[in-house]
Amino acid sequence: MSVDKSRPSRYAGLGGLSIAGLIAVATTFTFSFSALAARPTIRVAVVPVAGARSGHLERGVLRALASHRQMRTIPPDAVKRTLQELHLPLKSDRDFEALARALEVSALVVGETTGRSKIWVAIRNGADGSERAQATWNDSTMPSTQVIGRRFWKTFGRVLAKTTAPLPLPPVHPERSRGTPQADLPSSKPAAPLTLPPPIRELTPKPVDLPPLPRPVARSAPAFVSAPATPEKSSERRPLILEASLGMNGFSRQLTFSGDSMGRSRDYRLSAAPALAASFEWHVWALSPEAFLTRFSLTASGEKSLGLTSVDSAGKKYDTTAYRYDVGARYALPLGEYSDLGAAVGYGVSVFALSPTGSDPPSAVPDTSYRYARVGPVGKIGITRAFSLQLGASYLFILDSGAISSPRFYPRLTVSGLEGTVAFVYRLTGALDVQVMGEVHRFSYKLGSQPGDAFVATGAVDQYLAASLRLGARLE
């Protein structure tokens, strides 16, 4: 076996270099740790955004920057004043570099909004004005400022950490005589050769007061702020998480039969009765960065009559129970700033029952206990920021109708249902509103009676009308 002696072994000199290597590694680690511990803050300026929803985008970016201690943002007013003083068109890298130098920042954030929901954002390096990264977000609706902030930091957080501030310009020394032009001022004539001043032969008894050195831009750099530069009261809508309402409901009921040749079927009429009403809506993914998830919500509502008693034509009294509850889900697409249109599905129960008092016989009016599945459109029309009109309609698939379909009354019946709601909502404050609501629930029967049945009729209509006044609360 031969050995190539011209190629040194990789282990040669290990004993001699190990101590030096350890010292070098330790020194490097020490300087790296010291640099990391003394890592300076990053000054960032948000250039005024163009577009119809510019303020919304600026607030989202400033919110993201203010949430990180390492970032220091320039107040938006100071950025605007600097642009006006410098008269920069911001069309080239040199324009952005000049702006970054005047503001003494490491990064500039520029952006633009197009239409209702398209957003473009870019990061420019302060040292040379070059574009380091850009992103375009195009949703079906403008996302909230929280969503914009999270997207911005996820996309550009590491890019901002790598930006650098412009190097300071060399100082311009004041002239010692007014007759000599400054060397760095532009001139149409060739620059004269630079001559050194004569040496100082003797000390002057008094110090010479020289004017201060001029700065590159004749203005002081704006102070950074660590708090978000958003106004205290924003006109933009924040994500809605919870909605709830509670109030009093007044309702009426009318059950009428048709085609009763024997006159045994008994109609029922209730002019008015009080009830306690409540509703609840939970926007499950209100804070999700995905816009399509924020439009989904879960709903629940209910009503319960208070102190209701019925009396028939013979003067007999019946304890009356009436209640309704409903659970479901809703999905709506936004239409403009405060309006939306969507669909709702759910499952509900509606009960109206008469119980005789004492030894009185059961009522000839059949009890109803509707169990149904519903589906239909829902929508909201935002007339102003404070006032809105809410609409809804549903078709009811009746799964069970209760005692009215028993063999004692109408065992061969078929029934279907419709319901509709309208509500006027006025926001008193950011968290409270007042609601005036109207509802109608209508159940239509085909009774299918045959000769020999105890009750013979061809059809019936069971209709409920309700109006309520509620106080609503919302959590954003």
Picking from 161, 194, 211, the residue at the C-terminal end of a domain is 161
Picking from 132, 161, 190, the residue at the C-terminal end of a domain is 161
- State pLDDT tens for residues 47-66: 998 887 788 888 889 988 98
In our burial notation (b when 16+ CB lie closer than 10 A, e otherwise), range 100-109 reads: bbbbbbbbbb
Q: Let me know if residue 192 belongs to a domain.
A: no
Q: Let me know if residue 204 belongs to a domain.
A: no
How high is the pLDDT of residue 409?
A: 87
CATH of the domain at 312: 2.40.128.90
CATH of the domain at 136: 3.40.50.10610
- State pLDDT tens for residues 219-276: 554 544 444 444 444 444 567 889 999 999 999 999 999 888 777 788 899 889 999 9
Distance CA 442, CA 396 (A): 9
Distance CA 268, CA 322 (A): 14
Picking from 110, 132, 161, the residue at the C-terminal end of a domain is 161
What is the residue range of 320's domain? 242-475
Instruction: Say how many domains are in the chain.
Output: 2
Residues 143, 251, single domain; the answer is no
- State pLDDT tens for residues 308-331: 888 876 677 888 999 999 999 999
The residue ranking higher by pLDDT, 76 or 454, is 76
How high is the pLDDT of residue 471?
A: 95
Question: What are the Cα distances from residue 438, in Å, to 228, 303, 361, 441?
Answer: 44, 13, 36, 11
